Amino acid sequence: MKRKLFTPGPTPLPEEVRLIQARGIIHHRSKEFSDVLKEIREELRYVFQTKEEVLLFSSSGTGAMEAVVANIFSPGDKVLVIRGGKFGERWAEIAATFGVQVISIDLEWGHAVNPELIEKKLREDSGIKAVFTQLVETSTGVVYDIETIARVTKGKAVILIVDAVSGLGAEALCTDKWGVDVVVAGSQKALMIPPGLAFVALSGKAWKLTENSDLPKYYWDFKKAKKAQDKNQTVYTPAITLVCALRESLRLLKKEGWDNVLGRHAKLAKATRQGVLALGLQIFSKAPSNVLTAVEIPSSVGVKRLRGLMRDRYGVEVAGGQAALAEKIIRIAHLGAMEVTDIIVVLSALEMSLSELGYPVEMGKGIAAAEAILGR
C-alpha cells in the first residue's frame, strides 16, 4: 500500500529530494560541499525573509529551540512565554530548565493570543527580556498574528522569538520587515526533507544579546556556528545527506516562488476546512492555520479507531491530538509537498472511514466542497 503522510512533520518527500539521498556521500570539508552550503545560505535568507545569516544545525527542531535559550539568556533572566499548546509549553520547559524565569500567558487551547495582552504584560513588567511564541501552534492548529505581536516588541529592548518550525513556508513570516528577532525552523515540515536539520535566524538586536549570555553551550554555540558558516563551513560534521537534500528542496521552492508556496498552502487548507465542514464536523482551531486542520471527532466515532482505519485500510496517516486533546481531535496536515489531489485523497479516506464507523456521511459531500475551491 502507498503510504500517504498527512502529519505535521514529517511530511512527504518530493521525488527529487528522495533521489538526492540515494547518492554517495561527499566529504564535508570538500569544495563540493562548501558550494552546497554557499547556495543554501543564500536561499535560506530568501525563505526566512532576512538579510541575516540563517544558522544550520543537525538536530530536530527542539534542539534549535534549546540552543536559542542557551545562547541568548543568563540564569535569572525573565521571559514571557505564550502557552497555547504543547509547543508553547515546550518553550517554557526549556527556559525553566536553564534557570530562566518564566512568566506565561496561558491560552485556552485552540485560541490565538491577543497581542494586546502581550503589550499589557510588557507594560506591567519592564524586566521582561523576551517574548516566546509560535507562528503556528501545531498541537492546536492555531496561527498567531506575528505581524501585530512584532509591532508590540519592535523598538523596545525586548526581543521577539518565534518558533516557526511548522509555520515557515505555510504562513507568511516577514522576519526583517516585521521586526521578528529570532526565528526557529526545522527540516521535516514545509521544507520537504526528512527530520534532522534545524535552523535559527537572529536579528542584530538578538545577536547583541548573545554577547552577554553566560548559559553553558558547546555544540550549540551560535558565534562559532556563524563564524564557520561565513566561510561556507560547519563547525562539526553536519548531516551531509540532509544538507544536500535541502539544496534540492530549496531549489524546488524557489522555482515555485515563495508567494506561490504560501498561496498553495492557503488554498489546500481552505479546501480541507470546507470539506470537513461539509461533513458536519467542527474545526477545533479558532484561528485555523494553513499548516493543518484540527477536526473535532465525535466520541461515538473515536479518534483512535478513525485514525487506525484511515491508516490500515487506505494508507492515509493523519495525526491525533496531543495531551488532553488525544481522544478529541485529528490533525490533517496539508504541509510541504502537497497538491490538489492529495486533499481529495485524505477527504475520501476520511469520508469512507467515518461511514464505516457509523457516522452519517453523504459520500462525496466533503470532496465536492473541497473541489469547489481546489478547481479554481
Ligand X SMILES: *Cc1c(COP(=O)(O)O)cnc(C)c1O
Contacts with ligand X, residue ranges (CB under 6 A)? 8-9, 60-62, 87, 134, 138, 163, 165-166, 186
DSSP H or E segment with residue 333: strand 329-333
Minimum CB–partner distance for residue 337 and ligand X (Å): 16
Query: Hey, is 278 helix, strand or coil?
Result: helix
Q: ∠ CA 336-338-339 to the nearest 5 degrees? A: 145
Distance of alpha carbon 99 from its chain centroid, rounded?
26
Q: Which is nearer to ligand X, 77 or 137 (CB)?
A: 137
Q: Which is nearer to ligand X, 43 or 163 (CB)?
A: 163
Give the DSSP letter of residue 168.
Answer: B
Which grid cell sits at 142? Answer: 492555531
Q: Which is nearer to ligand X, 250 or 319 (CB)?
A: 319
Q: Which is nearer to ligand X, 291 or 349 (CB)?
A: 291
Minimum CB–partner distance for residue 271 and ligand X (Å): 22
Minimum CB–partner distance for residue 357 and ligand X (Å): 28
Closest CA to 118 of 135, 136, 132, 100: 132
DSSP string for residues in 189-220? STT-S-S--EEEEE-HHHHHHHTT--S--STT
Please give the residue whose beta carbon sits closest to ligand X in the complex. 61
Q: Which is nearer to ligand X, 77 or 163 (CB)?
A: 163
| Region of residue 257 (left: phi > 0; alpha: psi -120 to 50; beta: else) | left
Q: Exposed (0-12), middle (13-18) or buried (19+): which is 317, by Cβ within 10 Å?
A: middle
Minimum CB–partner distance for residue 169 and ligand X (Å): 12
Which grid cell sits at 241? Answer: 545527506
Give the DSSP letter of residue 230.
Answer: H
Minimum CB–partner distance for residue 87 and ligand X (Å): 4
Question: Using CA of residue 172, residue 176, residue 178, residue 179, what is the dihedral sign?
Answer: positive
Q: Which is nearer to ligand X, 142 or 261 (CB)?
A: 142
Minimum CB–partner distance for residue 332 and ligand X (Å): 14
Minimum CB–partner distance for residue 355 and ligand X (Å): 31
Minimum CB–partner distance for residue 187 and ligand X (Å): 8
Q: Which is nearer to ligand X, 297 or 319 (CB)?
A: 319
Asked if residues 199 and 186 have their Cβ atoms less than 8 Å apart, the reply is yes
Q: Which is nearer to ligand X, 142 or 202 (CB)?
A: 142
In the chain, % helix, strand, coil (3-state, to 5) comes to 45, 15, 40
